[in-house]
Amino acid sequence: MPEIKTDAAVLGAGPAGYVAAIRLAQYGKKVVVVEEDNLGGTCLNVGCIPSKAMISAGHFLEQVRGAGEMGFTVAEPKLDLAKLVAWKESVVQRLTGGIGMLFKKRGIQVVKGRGVVTSPNTIEVQTADGVTRVSARDLVLASGSEPATLPGFEFGEHVWSSTEALAPEVLPKSLLVVGGGYIGMELGIFYAHMGTQVTVVEALDSILPGTDPELTKVVARKAKKAGIKIQTKTFAKEWKKKGKGVEVVLEHGGETKTLTCDRILMTVGRRPRFEGIGLENIGLKTVKPGFLEVNAQRQTKVPHVYAIGDLAGNPMLAHKGSAEGLAAAAAIAAKPGAAYDVKVVPAVIFTDPEIAYVGLTEKEAKEQGFKVKVGKFNFGANGRALSLRAAEGFIKVVADAEDDVILGVQMVGPEVTELIAEATLAIEAGLTAEDVALTVHAHPTLPETFMEACEDVHGLAVHAAK
């Protein structure tokens, strides 16, 4: 069996794994990456990046349709679906190709194939040419996650995961989205923008569960305006083919009804990809709620074996995985910063309008014993938002009433997925609402809304009609 000896071996080349590999190489380590698919993992290939490309196309289409308000006469755009999918793929290929270039520059070797951990220091890889053993002092497990589904709703021609939804050959006239979380709502809104009749069913009492209800109400209102039908406390029980489409049995309040549509999109969550990677060979088991136990350095209970990204716990977000990859690499190389030690991790949802939040909500802060002050500012009073024809939504700031330190920020509105970075930095740095309020923000810009929300914590927002 051919053998490759190296300092560190990384299993998985997603946002956690490839970042860890590059940082290890920057530290002077010899690195081998084992990846059975394309570089970039789910995020770059069939997740974050392609979905945001398609969503951007949907937003662009909506802007064109609304151009009449600005004085333009525009014919209804015609969609070339194959061209749209090809454009999306070009974005993906540019980024994945960039990772390959970075690997080459840093001397990182890629072994393509399915890897199985066989000992705390070895990964055996089933390649196209046979089995290759990779031996290393340190192993970094970064195998990511995969879409979950419900019994009886296995993925196929009529039941899509997000992967199939991002590369449709034909645009469905009607689509049932099962699961009203962030993936379901993002893709549901995209398809609605494309002209598909979309129905979203969610088992819980609200879409985007776990998100501040104040934010979700704004998105739900806009989704309904776009023609999306939202049914909460509703369960998909079974389905069968009907003509070229499907018939689905839904249950609500103990009563059942049927819905006919072209395709079903299952977005009921994701699960870490543990199966088949060989954890049992090194005595590792998952702990509740289904992740590997790691320390601040992201090291498992097995010496020299690290776990990062979706394997290492919630939130299952690409940027959290990347930060863990940097921490693990620093630990392996015995460098400063060898710990995953963050106050907060921001979350972003590319719905219409967008949602972003970081830190504690008002309810969470009170439950933790804080006395809070809250500031809020609407995008409807922001000149830049009005000029973008995107005045829906607001920014809300939760601060400690005793020392004014910002505890959390919730946003819904235009480009808040960009704006959340300032709020994250403010919390990470321990800034007060006054610190942000006294920082001069350029005018006319969307970030002024965050400044005004911080002013409103003290009841001093200049442009708020209070």
Axis-axis angle for helices 48-65, 182-193 (nearest 10)? 40
CA–CA separation, 309 and 20 (whole Å): 10
What span, in angstroms and rounded, lies between the C-alpha atoms of 53 and 37?
21
115 strand-pairing partners: 125
Q: How far apart are CA 350 and CA 415, in angstroms?
A: 9
42 and 132 in contact (C-beta within 8 Å)?
no
In residues, how long is the chain? Answer: 466
The residue to which tokens 């800034």 are assigned: 431
For 242, the 3-state DSSP assignment is: strand
Q: Kindly give the residue spans of alpha helices, DSSP state H, lying in 107-166.
A: 162-165
Alpha carbon separation from 105 to 28, 139, 167, 330 (Å, rounded): 13, 22, 32, 20
Q: Read out DSSP for 371-410?
A: -EEEEEEEGGG-HHHHHTT----EEEEEEETTT-BEEEEE
| Three-class SS state of 250 | strand
Token pair of 428, please? 């990470």
**Cα 392 to Cα 83, 365, 412, 448, distances in angstroms:** 31, 26, 8, 15
Give me the residues paired with residue 394 across strands.
Answer: 378, 412
Known catalytic residues are 443
* H or E segment to which residue 264 belongs: strand 263-266
Q: Smallest Cα–Cα separation from 416: which of 211, 204, 156, 210? A: 211
Helix, coil or strand: residue 457? helix
**Which helix H or strand E contains 8, and what residues bound it?**
strand 3-11
Q: Cα-flanking dihedrals φ and ψ of residue 33, to 5°?
A: -110, 130
- d(Cα 438, Cα 67) in Å, to the nearest integer? 37
